[in-house]
Amino acid sequence: MPREEIAQFAIDSVQVLSADETVDEELVPALSDDELLAMYEEMKRSRRLDERAIALQRRGEIGTYAPAIGQEAAQVGSAFATADEDWIVPSFREGPALLVHGVEPHQILWYAMGMEEGAEIPGGEGALPPAIPVGSQPLHAVGVGWGESIQGTSNVAVTYFGDGATSEGDVYEALNFAGVYDAQTVFVCQNNRYAISTRLADQTAAETLAQKAIAAGIEGIRVDGNDVLGVYRVAKEAIEKARDGDPVLIEALTYRRSMHTTSDDPSVYRETAEEDEWEARDPIVRFQVYLRDRGILDDETVAAIDERIEADLAAEIDKAREGAEDVDPADMFRFAYDEMPPSLERQMAAFESGGAPGGETDG
Amino acid sequence: MAEQLRMVEAVRETLRAELDRDDSVVVYGQDVARAGGVFRATEGLLDDYPDRVFDAPVAEAGIVGTGVGLAATGLRPVPEIQFQSFLYQGFQQLAQHVARIRSRTRGTVTCPMTIRTPYGGGIHALELHSESFEAGFAHVPGLKVVVPSSPAETTGLLTTAIRHPDPVVFMEPTRLYRAFREEVPDDHEIPLGEARLATEGDDVTVVAWGSMLRETLDAVEDVDASVEVVDPRTVYPLDTATIVDSVQKTGRCVVVHEAPRTGGMAGEITARVNEEAFLHLEAPVERVTGYDVPVPMFAREDDYVPDTDRIAAGVRRALEF
C-alpha cells in the first residue's frame, strides 16, 4: 500500500468583536441589552475584586491570591453561557467564572484568608472548589459530566484551566475520558501565554492548544479570549453540544495582565512592551466601547455600575473580615471524615483540652 | 442463603448485590465490563447492569479522578485499579482530591468512593504487580484502608465500604482470590475499624491481615504456645483497643506484614502498643515483614514475602525473649 494521507484536521478560530472594534454582525450572539450590561458589570466586578484583593494581600489581610485581571472576558463570557444547573469546575484563578455562577466575593476572600469556608459550595452543588494542583480538575469535570449522563440529565460541567495545564497528563486523560464516555463536559483552556514565567513556546511545540482535543477525538476550537461576545458565542454552542454528549475543548486566547499570584513578579520574565500591547486589547475596555457604540452604555450608567460594585465589595470585605473572626480550629478534625475514627476523636479531644504535643493519648 | 464462595466470587456477588440494591452504585475500571475483570471479579455484571458497569481507558489518574466528579453528582463510584502498583499513577488524585474534598469543602462535597485493588505477592505475577502499600494509603488523612482476609470477610467489609460515606481503598489479597472457599452469609456488614480475633490465646499476640493472616494461622500451628491472632481488617481506622487488650493479656506482640519494614504499619502498631500497654510487655514488639527493597520478581518473591517459617521464628523470638 502506498503512503497516503488518511486523516485531516483543522482548528477554527472565532472573533466577534475585534481589537479595533470592528464587529462581525453575523456572529453577534442574541443577547438582550440587560444581559449585555450584566456581563459588563460582572467583568468590572471581578476586576475590582482582584484589585481590592491584591491591596488586601499587600496589607497582610489575605494570603497568596491569583488575580484574573485580563481574563475576564474568557471567564465571564463562558460562564454566562451556562444554565443555573450546570457545573463550574475551576482552577485557582477562576474568580470571574465563580462570581457569575453565584459565588460571593467574601467566599473568594475567605479562601484567600486560608479558610475552608471559602471552598464550601453555595447551594450545595453546581460548582467544585478551586483546585490547586495544575490540571487535575478537568478529570473531576469529566466525572461530573459523565455522572450527569449516567443519571439521564442534560447538565453540563464547564472546567477551566490554563495553558500550562495542557502539559499535565491528567488533562489529556480528561479529554480522552470525555470522548470515550460522551461526558457532558466543556473544557475552557485559558491560554494566557504564561505558566508562571514559562512562555507558551517553552510549554509546547503545538501550534494551538485547541488541537489537543484532536488526539482525544473531540472537537477543539479557538476563540479570541478577550472578546466576551466571541467567547459567549463559542461557549454557548459548545455547551449545547455537550448537553448531547459531545464534549468540546475551547482555547480562549488571552493574556494574564497582572501577576501569576501575589507572590510573583512578572517584570522578571515579561517585557513592558508586550504588557502595553495587551493593555490596549483589554477585554473590559473593548466591551465598553462596543456597548457605548450600541447606545447601551453611557457615562451615567458606567458611574452607577461602579458605585454599585464599590458598595457591594465594601460590604463583602466587611463580611469576610467578620467571618474570619469566627474560625474554629477544631473544625479541621470535624470535616476530615463523615465517620470519625476513634483515634482521631481522641486527638481532637486532646486538642480541645489543650493537651501538650506529645502528651496526648492516641490509642 | 449462605453459599460456599471463593474470595473473588465474594467480591463479585457483593458488587452485584450493591448494584442491585442502590442505583447510585457505578462499577468501572480497566477490563471490568466486557471481559469481567482480569481476575473475573466483575464477570457478568455488565449483562445485568449495562448502564452502570463500564470499561475504562488505561489511565489510573483518570479512573480515580473521574470518581470525584461522579460522586459530586450523587453517584457512588466503585472503580477497580487492576493491580495496586498502578494505583501509584492515580495516587495524586487520591491524595490531592479524593482524600481532601470533604474537609476542604467542610462536608459540602464528599467522595463516597470505594477503590478496589488486588495487592500483594504470591501469584508469580509480572514485575510491579505485587506491592503492598497499605501504610502509604493509611498515611493519607481522609482515606480509610480495608484489607479482607477471607471470602466471608470480603463480603462483609466490601458491603460496608460501598455503603460508607468516606472514601475507602479496598485492597484484595490476590493470592487469596481462589485459595479456598468459605460459607458467606448474605447481606452482612462488618463495621470499619473493628478487629476480630482469628484465634484466641494467652501467650503471645500476633497481628496480621490479608494474605499474611492465612500464613500466620498456618505458622502458629507449629508453635508450641497459646497464640492469639488479631486480624485488624481495617488498617485505617486501626482498632487499637482490640490489639492493646490482647497484648495486655498476653504480654507479647508480633506484627506480620508483607510490605517493606521501614514506615510500614508494624511501626505504627508498635507505637500504639508502647503507648497503651508498655507496662504489660515482656518482650519488645517483634516485626516480621517484607524487606526494604523493591518487591523482587517471582524468582525471588518467595524469599521476600514472609512465610510460615519466618513468622513462626518471629513468634518464637517474642516468646523466648
Q: What's the rounded Cα separation, in Å, for the pair B103 and A117?
A: 10
Which residue in chain B has the smallest CA separation from A118? Answer: B105
Q: What's the rounded Cα separation, in Å, for the pair B236 and B223?
A: 29
Q: What is the pLDDT of residues B76-85, one digit of tens each?
A: 999 999 999 9
Nearest-10 crossing angle of helices B308-320, B211-220: 60
List the one residue out of B228, B238, B241, B184 whose CA is nearest residue B16.
B184
Cell of A146: 459523565
Q: Are A192 and A249 in contact (CB under 8 A)?
A: no
CA distance B315 to chain A (A): 24
Q: Are B129 and B83 in contact (CB under 8 A)?
A: yes
Other Cβ atoms less than 10 A from the Cβ of B207: the count is: 29
Q: What is the pLDDT of residues A51-74, one digit of tens each?
A: 999 999 999 999 999 999 999 999
Question: What residues 238-297 of chain B have any CB closer than 8 A to a CB of chain A?
Answer: 238, 240-241, 244, 272, 275-276
Q: What is the mean pLDDT of residues B292-321?
A: 97
Q: What is the mean pLDDT of residues A28-36?
A: 97
B164 contacts A170? CB cut-off 8 A: no
Of the residues B106, B242, B245, the best mutation for testing chain A's interface (the one with the most A CB atoms within 10 Å of its CB) is: B106
Q: What's the rounded Cα separation, in Å, for the pair A40 and A35?
A: 9
Q: What is the 3-state secondary structure (H, E, C) of A119-138?
A: HCCHHHCCECCCCCCCCCCH
Q: What's the rounded Cα separation, in Å, for the pair B96 and A9?
A: 36
Cell of B131: 506491592
Q: What is the mean pLDDT of residues A128-152?
A: 97
Give the pairing of strands A87-89 and A12-14.
unpaired
Which residue in chain B has the smallest CA separation from A146? Answer: B70
CA distances from A209 to A187, A202, B309 (A): 11, 13, 59
Q: pTM for this one?
A: 0.96
Is the pLDDT at B189 greater than 50? The verdict is: yes
Task: Check residue A354 and give its pLDDT.
Answer: 84
Other Cβ atoms less than 10 A from the Cβ of A199: the count is: 12
Q: Are A164 and A84 in contact (CB under 8 A)?
A: no
* Residue B116 exposure: Cα atoms within 13 Å on the Cβ side: 31
Is the pLDDT at A358 greater than 60? The verdict is: no
Q: What is the pLDDT of residues B46-100, one digit of tens each?
A: 999 999 999 999 999 999 999 999 999 999 999 999 999 999 999 999 999 999 9
Other Cβ atoms less than 10 A from the Cβ of A153: the count is: 13
Task: Check residue A122 and give its pLDDT.
Answer: 64
Task: Check residue A294 and give its pLDDT.
Answer: 95
Whether B69 contacts chain A with CB within 8 A: yes
CA distances from A134 to A73, A90, A93, B142 (A): 22, 11, 11, 21
Residue with grid cell 490489639, as numbered in its chain: B243
Q: What's the rounded Cα separation, in Å, for the pair A126 and A85?
A: 6
Q: What's the rounded Cα separation, in Å, for the pair A28 and A296?
A: 15
CA distance B308 to chain A (A): 30
Q: Is B297 exposed, middle or buried (0-12, 13-18, 19+ CB in 10 A)?
A: middle
List the one residue out of A264, A172, A228, A274 whose CA is nearest residue A39.
A228
Q: What's the rounded Cα separation, in Å, for the pair B121 and B131?
A: 7
CA distances from B43 to A55, B38, B47 (A): 60, 9, 9
Q: Which residues of B touch A332 (CB under 8 A)?
A: 103
Other Cβ atoms less than 10 A from the Cβ of A258: the count is: 18
Return the H-helix or E-strand segment holding A78: helix A72-80
Task: Check residue A363 and give its pLDDT.
Answer: 45
Return all residues near A50 (Cβ < 8 A) that are at least 6 apart.
A65, A67, A68, A69, A95, A258
Centroid of chain to Cα A10: 26
The count of CB pairs under 8 A between chains A and B is 162
Q: What is the pLDDT of residues A77-130, one digit of tens each?
A: 999 999 999 999 999 999 999 999 999 999 999 999 999 999 997 655 689 999
What does the mean pLDDT of chain A come to?
A: 95
Other Cβ atoms less than 10 A from the Cβ of A202: the count is: 10
As a whole number of Å, the CA-based R_g of chain B is: 19
Question: Max CA-CA distance within chain A?
Answer: 79
Percentage of chain A beyond pLDDT 70 is 96
Is the pLDDT at A15 greater than 60? The verdict is: yes
> How many degrees, rounded to 5, is the angle at CA B210 between CA B45 and CA B193?
90
B272 contacts A336? CB cut-off 8 A: no
Q: Which residues of A touch B102 (CB under 8 A)?
A: 335-338
List the one residue out of A49, A96, A90, A52 whose CA is nearest residue A74.
A96
Burial track B179-202 (b if 16+ CB lie within 10 A, e otherwise): beebebeeeeebebbebeebeebe
Question: What residues 201-230 of chain B have any CB closer than 8 A to a CB of chain A?
Answer: none
B108 contacts A124? CB cut-off 8 A: yes
Q: Are B269 and B301 in contact (CB under 8 A)?
A: no
Is the pLDDT at A355 greater than 70? The verdict is: no
Q: Are A255 and A277 in contact (CB under 8 A)?
A: no
Is the pLDDT at A202 greater than 80? The verdict is: yes
Return the H-helix or E-strand segment holding B287: strand B286-290
Nearest to A136 among B96, B102, B108 (CB): B96
Complex confidence, ipTM: 0.94
Percentage of chain A beyond pLDDT 90 is 94
B237 contacts A341? CB cut-off 8 A: yes
B244 contacts A363? CB cut-off 8 A: yes
Task: Check residue A123 and give its pLDDT.
Answer: 56
A335 contacts B166? CB cut-off 8 A: no
Is the pLDDT at B109 greater than 50? The verdict is: yes
What does the mean pLDDT of chain B come to?
A: 97
Give the DSSP letter string of A153-206. Answer: ----EEEEEETGGGGSHHHHHHHHHHHHHT--EEEEEEE-SEETTEEHHHH---
Is the pLDDT at A157 greater than 70? The verdict is: yes
Q: Is B164 a catalytic residue?
A: no
B193 contacts A335? CB cut-off 8 A: no
One-letter amino acid of A321: R
